[in-house]
Chains A and B, each alone.
Chain A
């Protein structure tokens, strides 16, 4: 490493954006191509400042749009180096075309996605509509619940994505403002230890190997397209989860911090459980603890890896519960919620008799309060006692006006 190292304290007070920027610095990204958008902007601003201060040696390409940001990242990654960017919401929507191209070319780009609502109406605050929008784009998706995890999961994402058996891009999600702008104590790794963990980038089929020209991004029609897509899917379905688990283990040995594909909280003997992701996982854990003091055996299942969707791990985590709430922080726009559908799919053939209901919450940055969750757990208990879903299957919680419930 030729860059100047930065002395960090064991615990620094960082928000999620700065934690991600520090991780990118410690991974020594070769090229960042980016375009600013709230609330993700401080990530690339942080990287730019590290560059200005001599703490990284890469190239920062300040492009004219998010579509160009990912286009530049794709060209840079195909040229054979470590590449990252960050965006949110409308920015992700604009670059979404290129996300499919990055994964189809098997380029291990890391995107820090600071989750934010999609317009219209225009809204800069956090929800998961952007994360869900690109869930079929072939990117691995991690989800961080706090700044510590936003920091740690970047290292893990690079190590998984760049593995030559995987070679797929990855998104690290964090909640807009709630994580990205909330400062907390973050346990740090030293520069040497962090870089040692991710390792030097090892190129494969790189355009800059001038003696071995390569063709990237070819055309295929019905004769080959299906094979390419099917094999990409096979690798996502069969190789990625074991690889992530191995990297989680390695990271635990390094840092003492243990991550799981799904994060179970008080699930050993739970009768009722909430499944969610993002900052709401931590709120749900607090409330579950409280519910147990009041005689309701409550648990929480946090989704850590949204893609590939961990069907088996979800089914295992929920196998003994009587009633489940799937919490979706995105407008379902004419369907059951995304998590509702995927959890239903995971459980359908397992013999589980659990009652599943869906809750839509927190759109556009609306708070999910403990009161909401207390009421929700009580409803789940009522369902469990009655042996049927006692409300409509889908409820919007925390929205003003008359109660909204469907299905």
Chain B
């Protein structure tokens, strides 16, 4: 295992040499680029990366340009995890055969994919990689919608959200199903590490990424990625929206080790009502009509119940 990168403060962190260039085509205010920079800056390890088809992919590798100063591959929408697993297998084979060009360096293998490419179309590939125990990290840039194709619902889209294929309308409040619990599903694969992260909690992010890259075996990271275009907020508000998400516990930060040991890694000093998080985004605007206000109450009850459940599991240490 290589030495973990020591990071003293945000200034030093944010000015680290870039392996992901600011020169890319992502929307102003997109959390994807912030998360990717945080992950790449969290480590000095050599990285072999993949991206599934999605916003990150189409905005960072448009021939003849690339935003990546680390080896990177894109195949399709669903199979970025398996692409990186294939590269990891080749690394093992060449290491055994003594054919690595830099045998003294141990690269880490990371795949990036959106919630569509992870929760939905790429689900099987990720499950396969987790089950087989590849030494890879799969990172979901979870913006809770198919943003790259213009805002269709995914199985990560939360209830009451207005998406283009589950729009709010005269007789509908939008998305009818609640968000798929990917962290529990991935933890059930009994992998060494799964965690949920958010870009506004950068120290927590760095800690989890460093831990994830250090463990031997598959790692699953779900990163909340606020989407200015589809969540409908001002690009300057990405971090304040992210703060509302973590402080309202809509997006709780925790980790699960070896499939069972759950640790909550961030406890807001002042828990913000869910209403404030919803009110800050255009995708939930219709919920504030009189006839749908009961949904906001249900949101709060669901979040409270989830938080209570996470605390029970943490306490039980099982």
Contacts and interface: CB of A to CB of B under 8 A. Distances in A.
B86 A79 contact: yes
Contacts of B84: 75
Contact of A216 (B74, B90, B93, B125): B74
A387 B90 CA distance: 60
Contacts of A31: 86, 89-90, 93
A217 interface: yes
A208 B107 contact: yes
8 tightest Cβ-Cβ pairs between the two chains A and B: A75-B86, A64-B128, A75-B83, A71-B79, A72-B86, A207-B71, A79-B90, A76-B86
A2 interface: yes
Contacts of B89: 31, 33, 59, 61, 72, 75-76
B61 A215 contact: yes
Given A31-B90, A64-B124, A64-B128, A72 B102 contact: no
Nearest to A75: B86
Contacts of B57: 219
Q: Which of A81, A83, A208 has the most CB of B within 10 A?
A: A208
A76 B86 CA distance: 4
A71 B136 CA distance: 15
Given A81-B93, A207-B71, A207-B87, A68 B128 contact: yes
Given A30-B94, A64-B125, A208-B48, 4 more contacts: A75-B89, A78-B86, A207-B48, A215-B68
Interface in B24-77: 46, 48, 50, 57-58, 61-64, 66, 68-76
B97 A57 contact: yes
B44 to A, nearest CB: 12
Contacts of B97: 2, 30, 57
Contacts of B127: 64
B82 A75 contact: yes
Interface string A212-245: 0111111111001000100000000000000000
Nearest to A58: B93
B90 A215 contact: no
A317 interface: no
8 contacts: A58-B93, A73-B86, A77-B90, A78-B86, A210-B71, A215-B72, A217-B73, A217-B75
A393 interface: no
B58 A219 contact: yes
B101 interface: yes
Contacts of A210: 46, 71, 101-102, 105, 107
A211 B69 CA distance: 10
A72 B109 CA distance: 13
Interface of B: 46, 48, 50, 57-58, 61-64, 66, 68-76, 78-79, 82-94, 96-102, 105, 107, 124-125, 127-128, 131-132
B87 to A, nearest CB: 4
A97 interface: yes
A75 B66 CA distance: 18
A30 B93 CA distance: 6
Contact of B93 (A59, A67, A75, A219): A59
Nearest to B74: A217
Contacts of A73: 86
A376 B249 CA distance: 76
A62 B124 CA distance: 14
Interface residues of A, number: 45
A81 B88 CA distance: 12
Given A33-B86, A81-B90, A71 B63 contact: no
B135 to A, nearest CB: 12
Contacts of A218: 61-63, 66, 74
A75 B50 contact: yes
A59 B92 CA distance: 7
A98 interface: yes
Contact of B71 (A64, A208, A228): A208
Contacts of B102: 209-211
A287 B228 CA distance: 72
A35 to B, nearest CB: 10
Given A76-B86, A208-B91, A213 B71 contact: yes
A224 B85 CA distance: 29
A265 B139 CA distance: 58
A91 interface: no
A64 B50 CA distance: 19
A216 B72 contact: yes
B94 A72 contact: no
B78 A67 contact: yes
Contacts of B87: 75-76, 78-79, 207-208
B112 to A, nearest CB: 13
A76 B90 contact: yes
A78 B70 contact: no
A80 B128 contact: no
A65 B99 CA distance: 29
A74 interface: yes
B58 to A, nearest CB: 5
B309 to A, nearest CB: 30
A72 B74 contact: no
Nearest to B65: A218
Contacts of A221: 62
Nearest to B57: A219
Interface in A86-113: 97-98, 101
Nearest to B100: A208
B100 A71 contact: no
Contacts of B76: 71, 97-98, 101
Contacts of A215: 61, 66, 68, 71-73
Interface in A35-82: 57-59, 61-65, 67-68, 71-81
A63 B86 CA distance: 10
Contacts of B101: 208-211
B82 A59 contact: no
Given A75-B85, A219-B62, A213 B90 contact: no
Given A75-B85, A75-B86, A57 B73 contact: no
Nearest to A211: B102
Contacts of B48: 79, 207-208
A213 B69 contact: yes
Contacts of A213: 68-72
Nearest to B105: A210
A216 B73 contact: yes
Contacts of B69: 213
A392 B91 CA distance: 58
B63 A224 contact: yes
A79 B79 contact: no
